[in-house]
């Protein structure tokens, strides 16, 4: 097994040291939200204790300090995903708002009745509903490329659905319900051959692999802070500068304007045109701290270690009678979704919680995926860089014990 300083990393996450119902906490709900290292907690506290003031508008010392930290974090995000400019980094509340921003700004300006938006059958609701709303508003049509029983995109079907009517492709970089990593380079190349822009939902991918938006050549990339070991309530929309320049504002108010009269308003330059109102200043600073932390560990190291955890968990799971893994794509992130014979996923989650094990049970905001696999829900264990093989052993022992209970 690759040497990875997991015990050192675990010591940086204070929440992991507690006991739940008398048992050591085994936190395996990372696809829903990751825990926070001291570096992030301290960065937020330090801002509030020493530097906090509203940003961009003040000439006093505290405002300047807050602004410097806020914009410094924007630079960290730019470098983290290798964007060309800080103008391409828009702070939003999360990946969901980022996708809604593109739907309502780019979509309303460029998509008309009869046009088509192409997604896949494995999308999170956040990459389905905004496009459904846009279709209702414009008369456009939502097309869905199917997946196979392994949870993989049927690429040939996707390619066949690309047509002269396609105006936008929106695809998960990595599925939250299945762990599938989509062939996004191939998808982007095929779409661009037809001059169709591509949005990638990177909420699951960004915390677990190196993301390079220049190399991908995606037009938009959305991700959330809370899955990236940062605070909740903050996220990022990356957009190519030329596209963002041409898009109308998403919301109106303070900081997105240059000049306001009752007759007309002139909008601010990028990225501020899309950042109306006082932003979540401390959470942006916390996101910057999370990126610093991940950079110190190394995203390539994170990806390699988590791949080993997934391989180990998958091997253990396959040896449990009555357990069926949902989603066995060849290219997959560290997510293990499963069902048990005669045991509802919610009962699995409740029983495992009594053993101190935190997993997710439900439809994972991916109801069409559940419908495809003909299950009401799945149990989902999702791994992060602070998880261990020993924790996976505890999980598997817990599953085996509840199988005995349910007979």
Residues with active-site annotation: 365
- Contact yes or no for 294/41 (Cβ under 8 A): no
Tokens 């169709």, located at residue: 196
CA–CA separation, 132 vs 142, rounded Å? 7
- DSSP structural state of residue 361: E
CA–CA separation, 340 vs 403, rounded Å? 8
- Contact yes or no for 180/152 (Cβ under 8 A): yes
- DSSP structural state of residue 385: T
Kind of pairing, strands 198-201 and 220-224?
parallel
Structure tokens that stand for 302 in this block: 């994170």
Structure tokens that stand for 143 in this block: 């097309």
Residue 363 to residues 37, 96, 247, Cα–Cα distance (Å): 28, 17, 34
CA–CA separation, 293 vs 171, rounded Å? 28
Peptide bond into 271 cis (omega under 30): yes
Kind of pairing, strands 235-239 and 220-224?
antiparallel
């Amino acid at each position: 097994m690759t040497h990875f300083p997991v015990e050192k990393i675990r010591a940086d996450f204070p929440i992991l040291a507690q006991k739940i119902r008398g048992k050591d906490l085994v936190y395996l709900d990372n696809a829903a939200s990751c825990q926070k290292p001291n570096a992030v907690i301290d960065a937020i506290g330090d801002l509030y204790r020493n530097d906090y003031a509203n940003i961009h508008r003040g000439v006093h010392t505290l405002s300047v300090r807050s602004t410097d930290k806020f914009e410094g974090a924007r630079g960290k995000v730019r470098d983290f995903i290798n964007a060309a400019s800080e103008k391409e980094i828009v702070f939003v509340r999360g990946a969901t708002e980022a996708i809604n921003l593109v739907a309502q700004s780019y979509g309303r300006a460029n998509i008309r009745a009869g046009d088509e938006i192409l997604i896949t059958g494995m999308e999170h609701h956040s990459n389905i509903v905004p496009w459904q709303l846009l279709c209702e508003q414009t008369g456009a049509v939502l097309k869905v490329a199917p997946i196979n029983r392994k949870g993989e995109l049927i690429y040939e079907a996707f390619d066949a659905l690309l047509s002269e009517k396609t105006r936008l492709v929106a695809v998960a970089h990595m599925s939250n319900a299945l762990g599938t990593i989509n062939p996004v380079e191939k998808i982007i190349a095929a779409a661009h051959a037809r001059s169709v822009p591509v949005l990638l939902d990177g909420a699951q991918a960004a915390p677990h692999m190196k993301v390079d938006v220049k190399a991908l050549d995606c037009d938009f990339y959305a991700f959330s802070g809370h899955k990236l070991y940062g605070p909740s309530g903050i996220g990022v929309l990356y957009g190519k500068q030329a596209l963002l320049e041409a898009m109308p504002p998403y919301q109106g108010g303070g900081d997105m304007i240059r000049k306001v009269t009752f007759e007309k308003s002139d909008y601010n330059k990028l990225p501020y045109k899309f950042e109306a109102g006082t932003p979540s200043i401390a959470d942006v600073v916390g996101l910057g701290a999370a990126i610093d932390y991940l950079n110190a560990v190394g995203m390539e190291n994170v990806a390699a270690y988590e791949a080993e955890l997934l391989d180990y968990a998958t091997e253990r799971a396959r040896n449990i009678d009555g357990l069926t893994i949902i989603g066995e794509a060849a290219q997959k992130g560290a997510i293990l979704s499963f069902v048990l014979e005669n045991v509802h996923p919610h009962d699995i989650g409740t029983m495992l919680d009594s053993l101190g094990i935190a997993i997710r049970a439900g439809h994972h905001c991916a109801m069409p995926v559940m419908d495809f696999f003909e299950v009401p829900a799945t149990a989902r264990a999702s791994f992060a860089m602070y998880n261990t093989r020993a924790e996976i052993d505890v999980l598997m022992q817990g599953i085996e014990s509840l199988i005995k209970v349910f007979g």
